[in-house]
């Protein structure tokens, strides 16, 4: 690992400020300086995010008839769209992030069927009103 001159200077300033306000034995200074320098150097390194991929078993288990389990927080939702929007994700980005298939549902089957029935009822009611208005 290459030593950055800026990290050495920053570690020295931190040590200087610490030593002026705290009593430190002289023999522990090299160890303390090395520790501070390592800590400053570690700030430059971006940790690699772990590759998150859901297994086939996890994907199957997350799809229930009454709800969908979110891979983001493990909670169940009837529809994932609002939950994902609040987290700044689109359905496509969510599927890509977790390695889900393109046909992974965003709405539970029960909720979708219920909404479909409501829509049909509204349509039938509107057609009846239009028929009555025409007569």
Per-residue pLDDT tens digits for 60-90 = 999 999 999 999 999 999 999 999 999 999 9
- Domain range enclosing 95: 56-134
Q: Does one domain contain both 83 and 125?
A: yes
Mean pLDDT of 93-108: 94
Give phi and psi for 89, each to the nearest 5.
-115, 145
Query: What six digits make up the tokens of 56?
Result: 């086939």
Task: Output the pLDDT for position 102.
Answer: 93
Confidence of residue 49 (pLDDT cuts 50, 70, 90): low
| Rg of the chain on CA atoms, in Å | 29
Asked if residue 91 is part of any domain, the answer here is yes
Q: Does one domain contain both 73 and 127?
A: yes
Asked if residue 48 is part of any domain, the answer here is no
97 vs 71: CA distance, rounded Å: 10
DSSP 101: -
Q: Does one domain contain both 60 and 29?
A: no
């Amino acid at each position: 690992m290459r030593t950055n001159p800026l990290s050495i200077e920053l570690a020295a300033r931190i040590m200087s400020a610490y030593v002026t306000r705290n009593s430190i034995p002289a023999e522990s200074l090299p160890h303390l300086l090395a520790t501070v320098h390592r800590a400053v150097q570690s700030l430059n390194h971006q940790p690699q995010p772990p590759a998150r991929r859901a297994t086939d078993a996890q994907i199957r288990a997350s799809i229930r008839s009454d709800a969908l389990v979110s891979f983001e927080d493990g909670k169940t939702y009837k529809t994932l769209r609002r939950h994902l929007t609040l987290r700044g994700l689109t359905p496509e980005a969510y599927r890509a992030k977790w390695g889900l298939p393109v046909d992974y549902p965003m709405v539970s089957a029960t909720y979708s069927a219920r909404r479909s029935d409501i829509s049909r009822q509204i349509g039938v009611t509107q057609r009846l009103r239009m028929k009555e208005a025409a007569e």
